[in-house]
Amino acid sequence: MQRHLLRRLFSSSSPFAPQKRARSGLAAVSEAVESAAVLPNMPPFGYSPPPYDGPRAAEILRKRSEFLSPSMFYLYKKPLNIVDGKMQYLYDEDGRRYLDAFGGIATVCCGHCHPEVIEAIINQTKRLQHSTILYLNNAIADFAEALAGKMPGDLKVVFFTNSGTEANELAMMIARLYTGCHDIISLRNAYHGNAAGTMGATAQCNWKFNVVQSGVHHALNPDQYRGVFGSDGEKYAKDVEEIINYGTSGNVAGFISEAIQGVGGILELAPGYLPAVYKTIKKAGGLCIADEVQAGFARTGSHFWGFEAHGVVPDIVTMAKGIGNGIPIGAVVTTPEIAQVLTRRSYFNTFGGNPVCTAGAHAVLKVIEKEKLQENALIVGSYLKNRLGALQEKHEIIGDVRGRGLMLGVEFVTDRQQKTPAKAEIVHVMEQMKDMGVLVGKGGFHGNVFRITPPLCFTKEDADFLTDVMDIALSKL
């Protein structure tokens, strides 16, 4: 029996396989048997990374501490040295496999190193890497056409950028130029980027410091779990009216929001909120900006864009991250009328929309459609949310399970009535899950929410493994 359990523990499907055990003797055997008896099997996967002979984690951490920005942070007490990736899995320096349940929102949409995306990037790189401003190239035009085809209404003019921060900066500038007004309204607990303007619009995120920007106003967050009005979106929307009536001249340049707040803790805006706010903004002469950097590109499953679930059509849509599956590319899409405002200025972006990035991003769009990843996000995401809901019934520490498709959040509290944030507990559970082979993200104003946003190729077997591992980690608290 012990021999069978040990073989299972060190099999290729076990996340413990490449690890060397420091302990020996009867104690180590007993510990191994105990772990094997409860550890779920990671789903089989037909890929083995090539051997890694580069610098080890300790050496990289030393160089990082000495030469990189002190503002950079990393997950886990002992940060992982990730050296390889394939679809929904990552591999560390020892060849150990991890289920990536977070990388989808960071950059990867259709899977790490998807062969069709890699092929498109390589083929374009062999021909031409950069030529976007003064000459013609089909890669940028073809992708712009394909992207516009995924948009509702008259949203058909595309501006390419290098990141979501740039996209949101450009969107706010367009709104100000078009309306002739300076005031922008964003939501508390939002996240829109890392430049001065977007950091000004980013209000009260737990790890962001506030950069004060003139003309930026922060509205009450329509938080269905902690908000004062629960799920009544129209009551939250009245705060936007008050800002316009008492905080501005009565006019506004624009309103920017995510449909589901990512860094803010996977908070889906209360029903009825966006329609009411959009109506108010239009009345005040402003433009509505939808930040789809995290919720866009089929992630929510039910719709291709997050704002579609609220029954609204924005004036400007921004996107990045998943658009390029890890390639630095972002975009702003608006109407022909609004786009004309930039002809009054000499606006350009040196690298935005370069042939390599647009060829790769176009391949991503084709993969999403070819492999029906939106449908998969809906099916697997619904299955995973139900399983997480079952964990909530079992473990008192889970206060809320929320989100849509493969953009899910699990909020941890020490008291369900008081909703006291379980800050220390979530860190412990996160470490335990990493040790068992599952990587998740963390966010929310209090830093007590698991952000589960895997690549869209995630399977039901992956969902089972994730929830089984989380169940074990929670049981050990």
Q: What is the number of other CB atoms lying within 10 angstroms of the CB of residue 30?
A: 12
Q: What is the mean pLDDT of residues 92-99?
A: 97
Choose the weakest-confidence range: 104-108, 327-331, 419-423, 462-466: 104-108
User: Over 50: is that where the pLDDT of 436 sits?
Assistant: yes
Domain boundaries, the chain: 1-37, 40-106+373-475, 115-370
**How many whole angstroms separate alpha carbon 270 and alpha carbon 173?**
27
Write down the pLDDT at residue 248: 84
Q: Residue 106's pLDDT band (boundaries 50, 70, 90)?
A: low
Write down the pLDDT at residue 37: 47
SS (H, E, C) 135-196: CCCHHHHHHHHHHHCCCCCCCCEEEEECCHHHHHHHHHHHHHHHHCCCCEEEEECCCCCCCH
CA distance between the termini of the chain = 28
Distance of CA 459 to the CA centre of its chain: 18
**How many whole angstroms separate alpha carbon 250 and alpha carbon 238?**
14
The pLDDT tens digits for 148-206 are 999 999 999 999 999 999 999 999 999 999 999 999 999 999 999 887 778 777 765 54
Write down the pLDDT at residue 182: 95
**Alpha-carbon Rg for the chain in angstroms:** 23
Strand, helix or coil for residue 219 = strand
Q: Which of 281, 471, 279 is nearest to 389 (CA)?
A: 471
**How many whole angstroms separate alpha carbon 155 and alpha carbon 91?**
40
Q: For the domain 40-106+373-475, what is the CATH code?
A: 3.90.1150.10
The residue written with tokens 């005040």 in the block is 284
The pLDDT tens digits for 203-260 are 655 445 567 777 899 999 999 999 999 999 999 999 999 999 998 888 999 999 999 9
Which residues of 269-416 form beta strands (DSSP E)?
Answer: 287-291, 316-319, 330-334, 398-404, 407-415
The pLDDT tens digits for 444-455 are 999 999 999 999
pLDDT: which is higher, 11 or 431: 431
Q: Residue 354's pLDDT band (boundaries 50, 70, 90)?
A: very high
User: Over 90: is that where the pLDDT of 303 sits?
Assistant: yes
Query: For domain 115-370, which architecture applies?
Result: 3-Layer(aba) Sandwich (3.40)
**How many whole angstroms separate alpha carbon 340 and alpha carbon 352?**
19
User: Over 50: is that where the pLDDT of 32 sits?
Assistant: no
pTM as predicted: 0.90
The pLDDT tens digits for 37-86 are 478 999 999 999 999 999 999 999 999 999 988 888 888 999 999 999 99
